[in-house]
Every structure is written in C-alpha cells, then in structure tokens.
Amino acid sequence: MADDKDVLRDVWFGRIPTCFTLNQDEVTEREAEAYYLLLPRVSYLTLVTDKVKKHFLKVMRTEDVEEMWFEYEGTPLKWHYPIGVLFDLHASNSVLPWSITVHFKNFPDRDLLHCPSSSVIEAHFMSSIKEADALKHKSQVVNDMQKKDHKQLWMGLQNDKFDQFWAMNRKLMEYPTEEGGFRYIPFRIYQAMSDRPFIQKLFRPVSPEGNAYTLGDLLKEMYPAAITNDGEQKRYQVVIHGIEPLLETPLQWLSEHLSHPDNFLHICVVPTPSD
C-alpha cells in the first residue's frame, strides 16, 4: 500500500471530547457529577467506557444497576458501530463536547445489541475484519494469519497501540500491483435520516478499462441524492472520520487510508446544517 503513515496516524489518534451525564431518572444516593473523556474515533463505546461506569457506580446502589447503555438526544447509540461513525452520523454539526447520556436501566432491546463482555466486542470486530478480507482478497490474507496474528489486531485496538495494530494490518491492505486495487471495496454508507441501517453492496475500485473509481463514482451508484449537481444547493455532507473528502478521491486510496480498524470504509451522509 502507499505509505502515507501520517494519514494513518491522524485517523488512529482522532479523538472526540465527550461529556457523559447520568440519566436523571436513575436512582442515586448523591448527585452524580458529569464525567469527561476524550473518546478514540476508531474504537467502540463499550470498549473505552470502563472509567465512565466506575464513576457513576460510586453514587448508585448495586440493586439499581443493570446493563449500561448510551443515548444522544433520544437516540440509543449502537456500540457495535465505531465511535467516530456514531458522532458523524448523529452529532457532526453539534457543539463540543459531545453530550452523551448514560443509562443503567430499561435497556432498549429493539435498538441495541447486548454487550456483556469485551469478548463480544472482539468477536464483532474480528467478524468485520474477516468479512472485509473476503471482499478484498477472497479471505486469503486472514486465512493465512495465525491465531496470534488475529489477537495482535484486537490487542492493538483494545490497548490503543498504533504500531502493534498496523504491523499486522498492513498485510490486509496489500494487493497485486497489476490489479490496481482490492477485489471489492469494503464500505458502508450510513444515512442520518433513514431507518435502514446502512448501504453495503459489491463495488470494485477499478473499472474494466483500468481506471480508478472515485468516492463520487461510488455515491452516484449507491446514493445519488448525496451528489450536488451544478446550480443546486448542497443538501448533504459526505463525512468520513469527521472530514469531507473530495469526491474525486480514488476509492482505493480511501480504503487503504481512511478505513476503520475493522477494515471497512464507513461513510456518513448527513444533511447540510442550515445557517
């Protein structure tokens, strides 16, 4: 892969300043103060919020505590989406710090998956990596890895170790030069105003004639409403890791450099804020 290591580092170390407050309906023995944390964009809420849980448990009785879950402005936050995706999808135009409400009761089973332990997060993460590699390399790279290699990917994410993760993830980003890119690009397009979870279809990074497809080409095919035509007012922002990449950016480059650790390119289409 092209070695734009600074881009990889910027993506990995992206942080969102966040203020966690306890839902006012929770029963506490004394007032619960807010808790502030810099959340890593590339991680998962349930993986990085042990400190939040400990903070609020200090003011609660054990019998009042069930599974912890999070909500932003009435929307339960899906822990199995990367944190950066949750922010870009629901709060990209809000004032920082991001204000998240913490709950310990009334778990919304219809909206969220249960997450009883970090092994559930690991299983979800590894399943995404395997799915991405099936699209990119027919699963050849992941299948050639040993169990300790899989563990290195997970431990790199869990412990926020950029070098440990990328020493192994590099292999998942390689492809034969003559092919010009992966077999298919692992991507998901999320829409802020949709009940549909996301769009995910097969899409190659290179045309049959050998030309590189761009982010704009992908959107024209998958979500044409996101493209602003000449003379039209811009209705949507297309956001990846908190930025709006140029639509002319080659998809292969985006997949190599702006994918999350799960190896998917997560693209959020959100309404342009009204002035």
Largest Cα separation within the chain, whole Å, is 68
Provide the 10 A C-beta neighbour count for residue 1. 16
CA distance 132 to 171: 13
- Residue 97: asked if its preceding bond is cis (omega within 30°), the reply is yes
Token readout for 269 is 């289409």
Please report the pLDDT score of residue 177 as a whole number. 79
pTM score, two decimals? 0.92
Report whether 59 contacts 30 (CB < 8 A).
yes
Please report, in tens digits, the pLDDT of each residue of the chain (275 residues total): 445 888 999 999 999 999 999 998 877 778 889 999 999 999 999 998 889 999 998 888 777 788 999 999 999 999 999 999 999 999 988 889 999 999 998 899 888 999 888 899 999 999 999 999 999 999 989 999 999 999 999 999 999 999 999 999 999 999 987 788 999 999 999 998 777 789 899 999 999 998 999 999 999 999 888 888 777 888 899 999 999 999 999 999 999 999 999 999 999 999 888 75
Sheet holding 265-271, edge to edge: 187-191, 265-271, 236-239
CA distance 262 to 43: 10
Question: Residue 32 — left, alpha, or beta (φ > 0 → left; ψ -120 to 50 → alpha)?
Answer: beta
Phi/psi at 79 (nearest 5 deg)? -65, -25
> Which of 3, 2, 4, 5 is closest to 162 using CA atoms?
5
Token readout for 235 is 């209705």
- CATH level 3 topology of 117-174: Serum Albumin; Chain A, Domain 1 (1.10.246)
CA distance 182 to 255: 9
CA distance 71 to 60: 19
Please report the pLDDT score of residue 3 as a whole number. 57
- Taking the domains of the chain in order of start, what are their residue ranges? 15-103, 117-174, 176-270
Please report the pLDDT score of residue 2 as a whole number. 47
3-class state of residue 120 by DSSP: helix
Q: With respect to CATH, is domain 176-270 assigned 3.10.20.90?
A: yes
151 membership: H or E segment, kind and range: helix 147-158
CA distance 19 to 96: 9
Please report the pLDDT score of residue 8 as a whole number. 92
Residue 226 CB-density burial (10 A; 0-12 exposed, 13-18 middle, 19+ buried): buried
CA distance 87 to 76: 12
Please report the pLDDT score of residue 247 as a whole number. 94
Give the class (CATH, top level) of 15-103: alpha beta
Work out the end-to-end distance of the chain between its first and last CA atoms, rounded to an integer number of angstroms.
41
Fold agreement (15-103, 176-270) = yes
Residue with tokens 């203020």: 19
